[in-house]
Amino acid sequence: MDRETRARTRDSLPEGLGQAIRETADAIAALLDGATDTTVPVPGLEWTVGETAAHLALANGLMADLASGRERAYGDGTPQSLAAANAQSLIDFPERTARPLAAMIVQQAEAFLDAVDRAVADGTAGRTLLTPLGPMDHKILASYLLTHMLGHGYDLARGLRRPHMINERRVALCLPFLKTAMPRVAAASALTARYTLRVRGGAPFGVTFADGAVKVLPDPPERSDCTIVTQPVAFLLIALGRLGPWQAMARGAVLAWGRKPWLAPRFPTLFDAP
């Protein structure tokens, strides 16, 4: 990609997001580059390394199409429908070899960023895009893409017993998507509670539960019941269902206090990670 195109991407997305998408795709490709056996299972998933990489390649392609304005049906936003769509896509796409999948993951990430640049150039970057998790603009969709790659990049790293690529800077760029997705993936609950959340290094925000509705607030709510401060990597892994709250608290990665601190471990269970 030439310097002019890179400059456009920097201008069209929040600072560092385009770079983080490229770096993460490259890091995943580097993981796969050394994989000689893609049939090994991924801990915590029903997929092998090859199936996880294939899913990432397909998902990056889906995101690139959505960023281009193409409508593609992919489940109805529920975890069950997304799981079914994932399973069918892997049946339809049998490639499981590391090198071609690594190339696809990188190519489709670049295709996504090119689509964002085109949308900026033709003045359509602010339009609403229909995604598997509801309507989003290009900026939130880019945050979604990064979050999805980091989650499955983590899975691949575990399967291949290599270091993962999640870090504080990248987690901060995932927060816009995670905040947007919270009300859409909330589990049914009769809980009434007000939480203050802060990912270390970032500003606090609020999440409230009342009458079955979930709201994400830009600032802490009045009379917060429970304040949760989380180390960035732990926050993302908990949000994606890769780490349990008690495990994180035992490691010192999560602190909680307030009028009802016992609500802290319950918070992740209030969402169905797709």
Which residue reads 């359509």 in tokens? 124
DSSP 71: -
Q: How far is CA 76 from CA 39, 55, 246, in A?
A: 30, 18, 31
Q: Which of 100, 125, 109, 121 lies closest to 50 in space, CA to CA? A: 100
Judge contact between 270 and 191, C-beta under 8 A. Answer: yes
The CATH code that applies to domain 186-270 is 3.30.1050.10
Give pTM, 2 decimals.
0.94
Q: How far is residue 234's CA from residue 249's CA, in Å, rounded to a whole number? A: 10
Side-chain-side CA neighbours of residue 266 (13 Å): 16
Architecture of domain 3-180: Up-down Bundle (1.20)
pLDDT in tens, the chain (274 residues): 444 545 445 457 999 999 999 999 999 999 999 899 999 999 999 999 999 999 999 999 999 999 999 988 898 888 889 999 999 999 999 999 999 999 999 999 999 999 999 999 998 888 899 999 999 999 999 999 999 999 999 999 999 999 999 999 999 999 999 999 999 999 988 999 999 999 999 999 999 999 889 999 999 999 999 999 999 999 999 999 999 999 999 999 999 999 999 999 999 999 997 7
DSSP 186: B
Q: How far apart are the first and last CA of the chain?
A: 33
**Helices in the chain by DSSP H: which ranges?**
3-12, 17-33, 49-67, 79-92, 98-121, 138-160, 168-181, 232-239, 245-250
**What are the extents of the domains in the chain?**
3-180, 186-270
